[in-house]
A = this chain, B = another copy of it.
Amino acid sequence: MPLLTEDAKGVYVIAVTPFKEDGALDDASIDRMVDFYEEAGATGLTILGQLGEAPKLTAEESRLVARRVIDRVAGRLPIIVGVSAPGLAPMRELADGVMDMGAAGVMVAPPWTLKTDDQIYNYYASVGEALGKTPFVLQDYPLTTNVAIAAKVIDRIVRDVPTCVMLKHEDWPGLAKISALRALSDKGETRRISILCGNGGLFLPEEMARGADGAMTGFCYPEMMVGVVEACGRGDMDRAQDIFDAYLPLARYEQQQGIGLACRKYVLAKRGVIASAKQRKPGSVLSPADVADIERLLARQTRKVEEIAV
C-alpha cells in the first residue's frame, strides 16, 4: 500500500466505529460504512480518531477494526489510523501494527499537558523519532486537546520532522493559520505539506480558498465535503458555497461537542449505513427533542439539496 505523502488531497472521512446494541464491534456495519464512504467519493478514510471512540477500544479491538477496514478497501483508498496515546511506546506499537496491515499513515494529537512552544515541538520531534519511517498527521484541535499550536511551531516541526506530511487542521478560528503556513511554503522556506480541514466542515469553502487541500472530517453527509472540495478545485466558489449552504444547518448542529457523535451515528443509521447508533460508555444519547431537531433539519436539507441539484 502506498504511504501517505505531502501530496494528499481530497476528502478523508473520519469514520465512526460501529457497535452492536450490546456494545460489541459490528463487522458487517464496518464493511457497509467503508463501502458507503467510498461510493460517496471519499479519497481516503481516517479511523480510530476521537470520534471513532478509539479510547474505548482495547488494544486488540483497535487492531481488529484497522484490519477489517484495511481489508475491505483492499488498497483502493488510503487508510489513516489514529494512534494518539499518553506514551510513545503504546503509540509506536499500534502504529507499527497497522502499518504492517497496510495503513497509509497514522495521526497523532498532542497530550493535553503541553503548554509552551518548545514543549509542543519537542513532543512531535519525539513522535517522529518513535514512529520511524511511518508518515504521520499532526492533529491540531485545541478545542478538545487544550493545546494551542502556533503556526510557527507547526512550521518548525515540518522543517525538522520529515515524516510529518499532513496537518489535520481544526483550530478555530484557523483561517489565518492556513494562510500563514501557505505563505511560508510558497516562499520556499518550508516543505509544503497537505492540509486537510476538520471542524465538521464548518469553514470548508473559506479553508479551500486559503490553500487547504481538502477535508478530513466526519459530517454524516460526506457528499457535502466531496462536492465543496470538487467545486473549489474547479475554482467555482459560488457552486461550492451553494452546496455548503444546503448542508450547513445540519453540519452546524452535528458540530456540537458531545452530542455531535450521537447525531452523526443517528443519521448514518437512518441512512442504512450502520445497523445501530449505539455508542460505548461513556457516550452521548439523543433526547426526543434532539431527534425532532435533526428530523426537521433533514427534511429541510432534502428540499434544499434538490433545489440546487447537488
Contact = CB atoms under 8 A, between A and B. Distances in A.
A173, A203, A245: residue with the most chain B Cβ atoms closer than 10 Å = A173
Contact of A206 (B85, B244, B293): B293
A237 B176 contact: no
A179 interface: yes
A202 B126 contact: no
Interface in A134-151: 146, 148-150
A179 to B, nearest CB: 6
A175 B206 CA distance: 28
Give chain A's interface residue range (CB within 8 Å of chain B).
35 or more
A122 B241 CA distance: 36
Contact of A202 (B61, B203, B209, B252): B252
A86 B287 CA distance: 26
Interface stretch (A1-9, A88-96, A220-228, A265-273): A88-96
Given A59-B59, A90-B59, A293-B206, A172 B257 contact: yes
Given A116-B117, A118-B152, A237-B296, A289 B89 contact: no
B172 A88 contact: no
Interface string A49-61: 0000111111101
A17 to B, nearest CB: 11
Contact of A89 (B58, B149, B176, B210): B58
A56 B245 contact: no
A292 B237 CA distance: 12
Contact of A57 (B87, B112, B282): B87
A118 B150 contact: yes
Contact of A150 (B61, B85, B117, B175): B117
A248 interface: yes
A108 to B, nearest CB: 14
Contacts of A150: 116-118
A65 B226 CA distance: 49
A236 interface: no
B253 A90 contact: no
B148 A55 contact: no
Contacts of A153: 116
Contacts of A234: none
Given A88-B281, A241-B296, 8 more contacts: A56-B89, A115-B148, A116-B150, A126-B282, A173-B256, A176-B287, A203-B253, A245-B245
